A and B are shown apart, each in its own frame.
Chain A
């Protein structure tokens, strides 16, 4: 009996100390990790979806709460000192899990200016072409964001990647969702723009 209590006590103390110290460390490194992700993952994606911006969108961004859901960052792209685009993240369900998307919108026309894939776990050579083949994501360009995007086999107007219908569907869903978010938050986005330094 004494041995059993001993085992429980030692394991508990070890787990609690380990959990506590990790939580502390996570807290300490959180901001820095976020910065690094901005620089290495989101930064390039943002630049690829916003054409010809003259500022650094990773430095001018604001955060909004989408309903009760998690916080979203909106990155502002400026052309010649004028706030012209915002880029924000969305996600769709692909074949191998979630597909992270970065979507750029023109603030005046509400048109998509670019769609980029940030993270994915799609089949290399098939679904992964969604990221590497610009012909696929270019189809979204110039279309109004608030419409519903569907692949052709579902009655929409997006050409699916051959052999990767589920991936293409996931990306289309993700962009459609982004449209819903944009529609819902448009007034707040316009408010938020004022808080970003020009």
Chain B
């Protein structure tokens, strides 16, 4: 069942959307969705790493010996992660400080490694780019939506900036009298919220 090129891109947006359908990359999904800014920042970082590593792995797939392929994938992914880390330190330092350890942890995130092994190592460059882009955007959207729910309910306001695009500042969305439901921005709230999201996704996918 060969997929068309468009399908390679769109599968990451709905059918195989990483944290909700593949249930991969959950650590940052739980930890970095306290605010939309962090969630989307993480999504961007992962998209960059994913697209770049997919390109390189697809280009080198004939050269990389199967026995050491995992080691090669890790070198490639780690290189791009460090590039992201350095760039964030240089250009978006405050976001880098908030995301802290989760940037270097992209190296051991299942998504780049999973896509390398399951897709880029077996497919051409164009398809790999689309696959990486789709998965990355899907991941960004999932983290963004999860963070949107948590930040709105948990703090009653949305404050931050999407890196390189725009900043936003909505305070007291529910009015002055709203008492922030701070459980939602704590760790247990992340689990509950993610569980409910998975439940909704499964219900929608069933029909």
Contact = CB atoms under 8 A, between A and B. Distances in A.
Contacts of B75: 11, 14-15, 18
- Tier of interface size on chain B: 20 to 34
B2 interface: no
B86 A26 contact: yes
Given A14-B72, A29-B89, A22 B82 contact: yes
Interface string B82-99: 110011011101100100
A22 B83 contact: yes
B203 interface: no
Contacts of A3: 65, 67
Given A3-B65, A21-B79, A36-B89, A10 B97 contact: no
Chain A residues touching B, majority SS: helix
A16 B47 CA distance: 25
B198 interface: no
Interface in B71-113: 71-72, 75-76, 78-79, 82-83, 86-87, 89-91, 93-94, 97
Contacts of A22: 79, 82-83, 86
A59 B118 CA distance: 51
Interface of A: 3, 6-7, 10-11, 14-15, 18, 21-22, 25-26, 29, 32-33, 36-37, 39-41
Contacts of A10: 63-65, 68, 72
Contacts of A11: 68, 71-72, 75
A134 B90 CA distance: 31
Contact of A40 (B72, B79, B94): B94
Given A11-B72, A18-B78, A40 B86 contact: no
A1 B77 CA distance: 28
A29 B67 contact: no
